[in-house]
Amino acid sequence: MSIYELPKIKIPKISFKKPSRFFWLLILTIFISSFFGFLGGGIFGTYFYSQLQDYLKNFNVQLPNQQLQKEGVVEKEYFLQESAVIKVVKKASPSVVSIIVTRDLPIFEEYFLEERLGPFKFRVPQYRQKGTEKREIGGGTGFIVSKDGLILTNKHVIAETSADYTVLTNDGKKFPAKVLARDPVQDIAILKIESKNSLPVIKLGDSDSLQEGQTVIAIGNVLGEFRNSVSVGVISGLGRTITATGGGFYETIEDVIQTDAAINKGNSGGPLLNLKGEVIGINTAMAVGAENVGFAIPINKAKKDIEQVKKLGKIVYPFLGIYYTLITPELKEKFNLPVDYGAWVGRDATGRKTQIAIFPGSAAEKAGLKRDDIILEFAGEKITLENSLAKIISKYNPGDKVVLKVLREGREKTITAILGERSE
């Protein structure tokens, strides 16, 4: 026998009997018992874990395993949000531009005149204009909303009518910019640069669906020096009313978004984005003396402006033609007014009479409105602090016929007006 050969072994034949019906019934019973045992154990285990954890808190003892699992979930959610922010910034940044404001300013040359006072001579400095030079006087941010070069920004960024504007894109290219329109009501303006339909366009979202606590991202030209700086925060409030001032600019803006995403000088006109990379607001102001209290104009207010500029070449608003204030509980009590809502014609916020109540030739004058009328409803909508006249009227167009419910000398009456047009 070779050492590499295995001896032949005779293997007996084995026959198997067919399992009985009782055997399969036993297997099925074991499976069902195991399944419900695991299910019940999971449910009751979680319940008793929670009860035990609550009991042990009385002795300052904490069970670790489930806490670690929760921390892992939180860490994973944080990682997903961080990844979403990075993705949005990369996608949106090419569409965000810096706006440089320049103007010709005089150059003065110093020279001296000699003057004598008794035995003494004095050199008195004098100045004369030698010429002019173009200097940078301001800046802000904007974002591209059409491939042919329409750029959305704030009106206060480009308020200087005698200035020149230059757009600097994210890749370092410079374009001379032309102001197409300034919104007569909102802090919104539209610029145009020449391009062959090759510019990266940012996507506009829906600002009517926003919720407090929602994560947002602000991008802008901080301090006119740090281009496309990024800050992240949440929506802190909706429907705010603010009075914005600065650089000779003064305007009350209604229905704005409040955010704690840092909005610094130079951020004005930049986009406020959601985690889908959509613009939901235009950064417009920050609260002086507070930390991380910024405001943005809802993007839905700008969509109409963009369409009007494309079709009409300008931004127009329906115009009623009155000076008014919204009635508050304080004004009602102070002046013993019959209602605590509505638009009080010819009065300011303190209740004092304005110099002009009705604009000459306006829709209000033609309709017969008078000083001290209280407009209760505009086209069937009740006028309140939350639903102001300006907010309601913005839904209409010049030439629309509307019905006003007016309280005059204690009696209600109906007045029909055909809205006029207001532009820059």
* Active site amino acids: 156, 187, 268
Give the pLDDT score at 19: 56
In a domain, 134, yes or no: yes
| Span 244-270, pLDDT tens digits | 665 555 567 778 899 988 887 778 899
Give the C-alpha separation, 146 to 74, whole Å: 39
Give the C-alpha separation, 388 to 316, whole Å: 19
Instruction: Show which of 251, 279, 309 is a domain's final residue.
Output: 309
Residues 6+ apart with CB under 8 A from 151: 97, 99, 142, 143, 144, 145, 167, 177, 190, 191, 192, 193
Q: Are 354 and 289 members of one domain?
A: no
User: Residue 309 has which token pair?
Assistant: 């500029």
Give the pLDDT score at 50: 59
Mean pLDDT, each 10-residue run in order, the chain (424 residues)? 39 50 63 60 53 54 52 55 84 91 72 71 72 74 92 90 88 89 89 85 92 90 72 87 63 81 82 92 79 86 91 89 92 93 91 91 94 94 90 89 94 94 78
List the CATH number of the domain containing 381.
2.30.42.10
Q: Decide if 280 contacts 298 (C-beta within 8 A).
A: yes
Total domain count for the chain? Answer: 3
Q: Are 168 and 136 members of one domain?
A: yes
Q: Are 417 and 355 members of one domain?
A: yes
Identify the domain containing residue 208 by its residue range: 203-309
List the CATH number of the domain containing 272.
2.40.10.10
What is the model's pTM?
A: 0.67
In a domain, 127, yes or no: yes
Q: Are 361 and 404 members of one domain?
A: yes
